[in-house]
Amino acid sequence: MRGNIAITTILATAFTLVSKTWAAPDPNFHIYLAFGQSNMQGDGKIENQDRVVDKRFKMLATAGGCNNRRVGEWYDAVPPLANCAGGLGPVDYFGRTLLKKLPEQIKVGVAVVAVAGCDIQLFEKDNYRSYNMPDWMVGIVNGYNGNPYGRLIEMGKKAKEAGVIKGILLHQGETNTGQQDWPDRVKKIYQNIINDLSLNADEVPLLVGEVVNADSGGACAYHNEVIKRVPQLIKNSYVISSKGLPQKGDGLHFTSAGYRTFGERFADTMLKILGNVSVVDNGSQGSQGSQGSQNQPSTGSTSKINDGWYYITNTNSNKYLSVRNGVGANSQNVELGSTQQKWKLTNNSDGSVTLVSEVGDFALDVSGGSSDNGANVQIYSNYGGDAQKFYIREVSSNVYTITTKVSNGEKALDAEGARTSDGTNILQWTDEGKSNQTWTFKSAESNNGSGEQKQDNSCWSTALGYPCCDTCVSVSFEDGDGKWGIQNDDWCGLQKSCFANNTCSGAQGYPCCKSSCDVYSSDNDGNWSIENDDWCLIDEAKC
């Protein structure tokens, strides 16, 4: 079984985007750092209600591999927030509760670094190297490049580029139960964070959560008396009560319902600290842009391309605008590829266009609705927001730039670094008319006169009254129409791209990975990753 396989090789890749200019942080983007052990990592079952989040709630990926997330990039805050081994935790409903009570122009971001079972020593920057961790912990720690504290600081610096750090959350102590020097060690870590990120301790409070309380049968409940001493040592710190929160029966971990309430308690305390929050007028629309704006782009006039299906080719590389692996899923990356992929262009009344991929009802999308240079380009469920609207401008015969509405047409789709290889990332960058920013459109319409393109990967099940699956879930049923999966307790159609070039059949009773390519372990069966909190065998044909 995989549970007995020693994890010996961890490949943690941090995709660092080197920017050429720096945009001012958005003062209306409130960001919180969080760290700790298993309860901060999250041990609750992620239920359907937890998968739906406000677009204003963002997470900074601190460990790669989950839902195709890349370290150091912003995503919708869909759990798990800490790493692939995590579940629902207190930070999930901390952010959601804040948004319910803050002005709608405020966004909330979180960066969570947590390691189940770890001692506080793992976050001591001068002492973590001597920590003797068990084998099962190695994979999680290496997911943070072997240094969780270092990763927290790295992400804190990136967070400061996007917004304003408003607070730090901590839940840890079970492994250090009863140790009287624990508050002093927490104080030192807090001071290190403040100093290493050049923060003002008077403006950035520390919120510390209690372990499972005695009234709920907490196995480490007496450590709460130690936790209560933290405000005596750290002036701007607060203890969040766990009284009455249900636990899973192990005396250590809260239930999903407990985490939701715990998160609300963290948020209620933070809201009291914040007081009356005013929206800062920083002379811009913020990184989300303005939904429904009818403004034309500020750089030149737009060109009209008729509605229909097109192959879109980069003039520098002569390669196609493509969805990674041809898999339809929220936040799936967009890149250059040698294989043709079709996009459905639809003109909008405001002069912009929407581009929907052949892999399903997923539109080309600027991640997070950001107007910043370097914002990643992905696909996301088609909802019609400004992040999914683009301007087409002809620069020569059948050669166009594709600029983004969230930047008011000032930034264009850009093949990163002017590279030409398959897999080159597509991002948003100031429109300079260079060849890595220009594209051609070739009609992909069929010649049957119907005017509608028949797609191999289209969402075929919608005609039968069912949606297509958001991701390549397991096949639950197959009939003459196709292969069916189950999502949200209902049938969904599996797109053909889920089975293209699928040479993986799983091993040792574990399935193949649907989309993850990050290697967490290797053995004679191949390379292993983690999806849905369990091992999966990496499909090398997709990676």
Q: What is the pLDDT of residue 193?
A: 97
Checking if the pLDDT of 184 tops 60, the result is yes
Whether the CB-CB separation of 435 and 316 falls below 8 Å is answered with yes
Mean pLDDT of 404-408: 91
Chain-wide mean pLDDT for the chain?
83
Checking if the pLDDT of 452 tops 50, the result is no
Mean pLDDT of 431-451: 75
67-122 pLDDT, tens digit per residue, is 778 899 999 999 999 998 999 999 999 999 999 999 999 999 999 999 999 999 99
45-69 pLDDT, tens digit per residue, is 999 899 889 999 999 999 976 777 8
Checking if the pLDDT of 294 tops 70, the result is no
CA distance 229 to 86: 29
CA distance 502 to 504: 6
Percentage of the chain lying above the pLDDT 90 cut: 55
Mean pLDDT of 369-378: 89
Checking if the pLDDT of 234 tops 80, the result is yes
More confident residue, 541 or 283: 541
Position 16 confidence tier, pLDDT thresholds 50, 70, 90: very low
Strands 164-171 and 29-36 come out as parallel
Checking if the pLDDT of 2 tops 70, the result is no
* Complete DSSP assignment for 228-259: TTHHHH-TTEEEEP-TT--B-SSSS-B-HHHH
Mean pLDDT of 206-227: 96
Position 509 confidence tier, pLDDT thresholds 50, 70, 90: low
Domains and CATH numbers, the chain: 29-274 (3.40.50.1110), 308-443 (2.80.10.50), 460-537 (no CATH)
Position 144 confidence tier, pLDDT thresholds 50, 70, 90: very high
More confident residue, 315 or 385: 315
481-495 pLDDT, tens digit per residue, is 777 777 666 777 877
459-472 pLDDT, tens digit per residue, is 677 767 677 776 66
Q: What is the pLDDT of residue 284?
A: 39
CA distances from 133 to 10, 42, 120, 219 (A): 15, 20, 12, 22
Secondary structure of residue 67 in the 3-state scheme: helix
CA distance 208 to 328: 39
Tokens standing for 425? 């990332």
Whether the CB-CB separation of 88 and 48 falls below 8 Å is answered with no
Checking if the pLDDT of 541 tops 70, the result is no
More confident residue, 179 or 362: 179
CA distance 519 to 521: 6
Helices (H), 380-495: none
Tokens standing for 129? 């190297």
Position 514 confidence tier, pLDDT thresholds 50, 70, 90: confident
CA distances from 137 to 8, 91, 131 (A): 11, 22, 11
Q: What is the pLDDT of residue 67?
A: 73
Q: What is the pLDDT of residue 530?
A: 79
The residues near 282 (Cβ < 8 Å, ≥ 6 apart) are 24, 26, 27, 28
Q: What is the pLDDT of residue 38?
A: 96
Q: What is the pLDDT of residue 542?
A: 63
Percentage of the chain lying above the pLDDT 70 cut: 82
The structure's pTM equals: 0.53
Q: What is the pLDDT of residue 429?
A: 93
Which residue matches tokens 């099940």? 461
Checking if the pLDDT of 147 tops 70, the result is yes
CA distance 408 to 399: 20
Q: What is the pLDDT of residue 8?
A: 36
Q: What is the pLDDT of residue 503?
A: 58
Q: What is the pLDDT of residue 162?
A: 92
Tokens standing for 235? 């002036």
* Complete DSSP assignment for 252-299: S-B-HHHHHHHHHHHHHHHHHHH-S------SS--TT--TT--PPPSS
